[in-house]
Amino acid sequence: MNELKLTEVKKHYGNKSVLDGVTVQLQPNTIYGLLGRNGAGKSTLLNIVTNRIPATAGSVTMNDRDVTNNDEALQQMYLMSEANLYNPRLRVNEIFKETARMYGGFNFGLASRLAHEFGLNVNARNGKLSTGYRSIYKLIVALCVPADYIFLDEPTLGLDANHRDLFYRTLMDTYAERPRTFVIATHLIEEIAHIIERLVIIKTGSVLVDSSVEETLAQSHVILGPQAEVAAYTAGLNVIGEESLGQLKVRYVYGALDDKILPDTVRIDGMDLQKLFIELTNEEGDEHVI
């Protein structure tokens, strides 16, 4: 499979820095979660990778060749985003055919089946579709193109719970049948936590985490107990957030616990992915009182 690397990618708009030296090597046949708060640079990064906008500095390479104006590399990538790039007068079935011409192939059988399962009218014009059904036809395209890298930027925008569940199940089914790399940028962290294998978290334009989900969660700890004991136990650890619950203290730790002796009054629990994301991307010094 083609190897895709991002090296020190930067993007500035005037004096504003959106991306500040992002370096990531995307592994083949892997499902990624790309997470970050609003304005962190997720959409900008995906647009740079797929050559929709230029980087200010750095490089994106496939097999050590720059992807800029590289048709061979760009045919191996598909970006599904909120942007509506197709002519609004095109019918959905015409969009499928147009995509097949651009990518040199398309799974029309799968597209027809998914259109039926999602209740999508393939004879409807692009410009007449609701937000949800525009997302649906673009998701179908993303699952049916013969590309090695599929980038999904807020893919479930406008979808109801049933359609979101159908999409996630379909993604996993098609991934099992034909493995490739998916990168899912979304705010619905709980919904993708069970399907992603690796995690990239961006904060203020820089990569904060680039690791497997398993390794990341293994380093994520909730320390709960009396305030003094929790403070003593977590001294010197990487505390990323804390909360006060009456006389109790909760501290969130990301990293090794250094084999410290745990007091009887203090408990350690694991942290779920959404809570870890919130604490990692909160402003420093935030403390919550419950």
pLDDT confidence of residue 202:
95
Q: Are 231 and 260 in contact (CB under 8 A)?
A: no
pLDDT confidence of residue 284:
60
Measured between alpha carbons, how far is 217 from 96 in angstroms, rounded to an integer?
A: 39
Look at strands 149-153 and 77-80 and give their pairing: parallel
**Burial group, residue 182, by CB count within 10 angstroms (0-12, 13-18, 19+):** buried
pLDDT in tens, the chain (290 residues): 678 999 999 999 988 999 999 999 999 999 999 999 988 999 999 999 999 999 999 999 999 999 998 999 999 999 999 888 889 999 999 999 999 999 989 999 999 999 999 999 999 999 999 999 999 999 999 999 999 999 999 999 899 999 999 999 999 999 999 999 999 999 889 999 999 999 999 998 999 999 999 999 999 999 999 999 999 999 999 999 999 888 899 999 999 998 888 999 999 999 999 999 999 998 764 444 33
Domain 4-204 CATH assignment equals 3.40.50.2000: no
HEC assignment per residue over the chain: CCCEEEEEEEEEECCEEEEEEEEEEECCCCEEEEECCCCCCHHHHHHHHCCCCCCCEEEEEECCEECCCCHHHHCCEEEECCCCCCCCCCEHHHHHHHHHHHHCCCCHHHHHHHHHHHCCCCCCEHHHCCHHHHHHHHHHHHHHCCCCEEEEECCCCCCCHHHHHHHHHHHHHHHHHCCCEEEEECCCHHHHCCCCCEEEEEECCEEEEEEEHHHHHHCEEEEEEEHHHHHHHHCCCCEEEEEEECCEEEEEEECCCCCCCCCCCCEEEECCHHHHHHHHHCCCCCEEEC
Owner of token pair 């090597």: 25
- Domain layout of the chain by residue ranges: 4-204, 216-281
pLDDT confidence of residue 1:
66
pLDDT confidence of residue 76:
94
Cα separations (Å) of 47 from 68, 95, 151?
12, 21, 10
Query: Within 13 Å and on the Cβ side, how many CA atoms surround 124?
Result: 14
Measured between alpha carbons, how far is 108 from 96 in angstroms, rounded to an integer?
A: 8
Q: Are 257 and 221 in contact (CB under 8 A)?
A: yes
CA proximity to 8, closest of 18, 22, 19, 24: 22
Residue 173 phi, psi dihedral angles, 5° rounding: -65, -45
